[in-house]
A = this chain, B = another copy of it.
Amino acid sequence: MEGCPVRFALGLVSGKWKLRILWELNQQEIIRFNELQRRLPGISSVMLSKSLDELEQCRLVHREQYPEIPPKVEYSLTELGRSIDPALKALGAWGAQAYEQIHAN
């Protein structure tokens, strides 16, 4: 992971929910915490918060907090977060091909 850019990249988006989160942010541009949680059936606020934290530290996600009561926090993709899209598309294309091959029998 230290010398291999592929492993480094995978490290950034590994985890059960991170890709789904990135996908939602790609669909939505800007989205609030609760709305995000509603769009990710099964995720707990613990995992969502933790995943968003890590994605923010990796500069993939931007967090905008408004000092209001009740609180309001908006999440969006950074430039770097948006730029992963082609790579994921390539991987998805291969994945679909692999799926066919494996389930051919």
Contact = CB atoms under 8 A, between A and B. Distances in A.
A91 B87 CA distance: 5
A98 interface: yes
Interface stretch (A1-9, A32-40, A42-50, A65-73): A1-9
A9 B83 contact: no
B80 A84 contact: no
Interface in A50-98: 58-60, 80, 83-84, 86-88, 90-98
Contacts of A7: 19, 95
Contacts of A6: 19, 88, 91-92, 95
Given A87-B93, A91-B10, A91-B91, A80 B99 contact: no
A86 to B, nearest CB: 6
A24 to B, nearest CB: 13
